[in-house]
Amino acid sequence: MQQEAIDKLAALAKLEMSEEERKTLPGQIVSIVEYIDKLRELELPADAPEMAYAVDVVNTWREDEAVNVSEDDRRLLIDAFPERVGDLNAVPAVFSGRAVPRSPTRPSKASSRGHGSVVSDRDEAL
Partner 1 sequence: MNFATATINELKRAMETGETTSVEIVKACLGRCEELNGALNAFVEIYQDEAMAQARIWDKARADGKELPVLAGIPIGVKDCILVKGHTASAGSKILSNYKAAYDATVALRLKKAGAIIFGRTNMDEFAMGSSTETSAYGPTKNPWNTNKVPGGSSGGSAAAVAAGLVPVALGSDTGGSVRQPASLTGIVGLKPTYGRVSRYGLIALASSLDQIGVFARDAKDIALILEVIGGRDPRDATSVETDVTIPELISEDIKGLKIGIPKEYFMEGMDAEVRARVEEARDVLAKGGAEIIEISLPHTEYALAAYYVIMPSEASSNLARFDGMRYGKPEESSTLEERYVKTRSAQFGREAKRRILLGTYALSSGYYDAYYKKALQVRAKIREDFDKAFSGKAGPGSAGQDVDVILTPTSPSVAWDIGEKFDDPITMYLADIYTVSVNLAGLPGISLPCGFVDNLPVGMQLIGKPFDEYTLLRAGAYYQSKTDWHQQSPGLDI
- Euclidean distance between the first and final Cα of the chain, in Å? 45
Q: Which is nearer to partner 1, 83 or 108 (CB)?
A: 83
Could you give the angle at which helices 19-36 and 3-12 cross, rounded to 10 degrees?
100
Q: How far is the CB of 107 from partner 1 (least distance, A)?
A: 22
β partners of residue 88: 85
Q: Are 87 and 111 in contact (CB under 8 A)?
A: yes
Q: What distance in Å separates the CA atoms of residue 48 and residue 63, rounded to the nearest whole number? A: 37
Q: How far is the CB of 106 from partner 1 (least distance, A)?
A: 20
The residue ranges that bind partner 1 (CB under 8 A) are 6, 9-10, 12-18, 21, 24-25, 28-29, 31-33, 35-42, 44, 48-55, 57-60, 73, 76-77, 79-83, 89, 91-94, 97, 99, 119
Q: How far is the CB of 112 from partner 1 (least distance, A)?
A: 22
Q: Which is nearer to partner 1, 25 or 86 (CB)?
A: 25
